Amino acid sequence: DAGITQSPRHKVTETGTPVTLRCHQTENHRYMYWYRQDPGHGLRLIHYSYGVKDTDKGEVSDGYSVSRSKTEDFLLTLESATSSQTSVYFCATGQGRATYEQYFGPGTRLTVT
C-alpha cells in the first residue's frame, strides 16, 4: 500500500462534529473506494468513485458524503459524526480492468465520543 496514503491515521472527535478523511494515491488508478471495517461485518462499501467528479453510493452510505476533484484524492466526510460511525476506515483503489483487485491504504481509526 505504499502508493496509497490516508490522513489522519487516528482521530478522536465528539458527536455532532464534522470530520473529513483524506485518501491520496500515486497509482493513477481510475477507481477509488471508501470502506468501513467493523468486527463481524468485514468491510462494507460506503461510497466509490469511477472518475473525477463521478461518485456513487455503496452499501452503507447514510451519514457520509464524498468528493473527488482530482484523480489522486478522494475525501470522505461525516457531516455530523455519531457514535455508530466509530470504526476503522479504509480507502482502496483499482485500475478498473479487474475490479476485484483493489489496493488498500493503511486505514484511519476514528473514534466518536
Given CA atoms 53, 60, 29, 27 in this order, what sign does their dihedral have?
positive
Contact stretch for another protein (CB under 8 A) within 12-20, 60-68, 70-78, 103-111: 103-111
Which amino acid appears at position 81 of this protein? A
Pick 17 or 28: Cβ nearer another protein: 28
Of 18-26, 64-72, 79-87, 98-106, the window that binds another protein (rule: CB under 8 A) is 98-106
If 0-12 CB within 10 Å is exposed, 13-18 middle and 19+ buried, where does residue 110 land?
Answer: buried
Q: How far is CA 44 from CA 39, 52, 87, 92, in A?
A: 11, 22, 11, 12
**C-alpha cell recorded at residue 84:** 455508530
Per-residue binding string, another protein, 78-97, x by CB under 8 A, is ------------x-x-x-x-
Q: How far is the CB of 17 from another protein (least distance, A)?
A: 26
Instruction: Select the span of 12-20, 36-44, 61-69, 70-78 touching another protein (CB under 8 A).
Output: 36-44
